Amino acid sequence: MSETYDEHYLNSITALGDAHEVVASQAVFTRRGIKLIEKGTRITSAFRERLIQHKLLPPIDECLSVANGVTHVGLRDRARAILDDEPRFQLIRTALPGTERLLNAFYAMPLNSPLAFKLTVAREQRPVIFEHSVQTTLIALFLAIKSRMTDRDLATIAAAGMFHDIGELHIDPELLRAGRRLDAAELRHVYAHPMTAYLILQEYPVFHPEISSAVFEHHERLDGSGYPRGLKGEEIGPIGQILMLAEAVTTLFEKSWRTHGASRLSVMLKMNRRKFNHELIDHLVGLLHGGDPEGLDSQGEVSAEAVVAQLDQLAEVFRNWHGAYQSCAVDTPKIAESPLVAFVDQRISGLERTLLETGFHPDELAALTAGIEDDAVALAEMQLMARESRWQVSDILNEVRRRWTELEADDSGRAVVELWVKRIEPLINS
């Protein structure tokens, strides 16, 4: 991990010490053997600069203890409260014969003192990360139970779920702020968090390699469109496949449950069957519709005009890519050999193929609204489809920005990709 990442994590630790009793359980030294902090010293923000200026031995999480820190019992109690109080998790309660086996996985998961301290920092200083982790773990455990996994597997999955985003504790919180637009360098920092978490977990044999590898894989996708390594299919382990779907579902719930309920998740699952394990998706489809995959509730009034406008924008994204590609191919026949051009073409083609498979022809999207102007449920589904597609295009743009350095020595690739980005960014950001 870089010193920059350590700076942000140390900021959280020392801020935690201002409000809670954080004590050095052993002396803290610099890499050169200079003692910075005596055993028994209470850590507060007064130590911030001293800690940030040095590389520390042992790792800081192994040197500190905190009063009322995260425990197995506390994790299980928080998970139970979410199941009891959060409406979207009522779906899980009703789909299982009971919740004790799911909740007991939190009690059975491996948890050592350094990682319990890390989760305490998350709970107290970065609660969005902590709550997201608990909720992701609940969905992952539901998927594991439906997949008939053993209790040992459930404990492993609980640990992977709780630790999958600990790498984000080492990222500047400003980069994770909702709505913040990131440049290429900032995206690389954010995209590195699975690797950061992996490097933390691999230091402890009980978490490596089974749990650490699943954590490393939680943003991968079966079609190779994920990160950080672009793994495909069986290159991603079974626990990683559960975790990546659970994380995606949790993120979508957080963003859209209040406005769209289960409807947007239904559309997302339909449009991402190439990215996630089919059997796992089917467990969620059954969860949403009580075994009937056709049900979809409309959310509020949707105008046909608004849907047509969104579908026109989506069709323009496809037309612009094919137009930019073809215009550059006239002058540069080997344009397809550019790695970034090939990446964008593959992702755009994949999205078009998904739309076709779900009944939407990319060239005739707006025409699909003819005759259903008064069908609120159909219009709602089409609007959600357009929004999910728009999100996927935004994801392609983010990946292009992250890989922008690949174009430095690729004049032909730069031309086609820059032309497309220039044309569609105003559409996607409008």
- What CATH number does residue 248 fall under? 1.10.3210.10
Tens digit of each residue's pLDDT (9 = 90 or more) over 87-128: 889 888 889 999 999 999 999 999 999 999 999 999 999 999
Q: Answer yes or no: is 296 within a domain.
A: no
Q: Which residues of the chain have pLDDT under 50?
A: 1-5, 291-299
What is the pTM for the complete model shown?
A: 0.81
pLDDT at 245: 97
Residue 298 lies in a domain: no
Q: Are residues 284 and 338 in the same domain?
A: no
Q: What are phi and psi of 24, to 5 degrees?
A: -70, 115
Phi, psi of 158 (to 5 degrees): -60, -45
Query: What residue type is 17 in one-letter code?
Result: G
Domain shared by 279 and 372, yes or no? no
DSSP-derived secondary structure for 104-144: HHHHHS---HHHHHHHHHHHHH-HHHHHHHHHHHHHHHHHH
Q: What b/e readout covers 200-237, taking b as 16+ CB neighbours within 10 angstroms? A: bbbeeeebeebbbbbbbbbbbbbbbbbbbeebeeeebb
Domain-ending residue, one of 66, 101, 118: 66
**51 and 88: one domain?**
no
* The pLDDT value given to residue 297: 41
Q: Which residue has the tokens 């609007």?
A: 383
Same domain, yes or no, for 44 and 80? Answer: no
Residue 191 lies in a domain: yes
User: Tens of pLDDT along 316-355?
Assistant: 888 888 888 777 766 666 776 778 888 888 888 888 888 7
Per-residue pLDDT, 269: 84
Among the candidates 15, 31, 66, a domain finishes at 66
49 and 129 both lie in a single domain: no
Same domain, 82 and 33: no
Instruction: Answer yes or no: is 174 within a domain.
Output: yes
Residue 297 within any structural domain of the chain: no
Are residues 280 and 180 located together in one domain of the fold?
Answer: yes
Question: Does an H or E element contain 354, and which?
Answer: helix 339-357
Q: Which of 261, 289, 317 is the last residue in one of the domains?
A: 289
| The 3-state secondary structure of 267-336, one letter per residue | HHHHHCCCCCCHHHHHHHHHHHHCCCCCCCCCCCCCCHHHHHHHHHHHHHHHHHHHHHHHHHHHHCHHHH
Same domain, 47 and 183: no
Q: Are residues 392 and 312 in the same domain?
A: yes
The secondary element (H helix, E strand) that includes residue 46 is none
Asked if residue 350 and residue 221 are part of one domain, the reply reads no
Domain that holds residue 388: 304-429
| 299 found inside a domain | no
pLDDT score for 259: 66
- 209 and 188 in a single domain? The answer is yes
Check residue 221 and give its pLDDT.
Answer: 94
Backbone region of residue 181 per phi and psi (left: phi > 0; alpha: psi in -120 to 50; beta: other values):
beta
Residue 3 pLDDT: 42
**Residue 208, CA atoms < 13 Å, CB-side half-sphere:** 9
State the total domains in the chain. Answer: 3
Q: Is residue 275 part of a domain?
A: yes
Q: In this structure, are 143 and 260 located in the same domain?
A: yes
197: nearest Cα among 237, 239, 163 = 163
Per-residue pLDDT, 96: 92
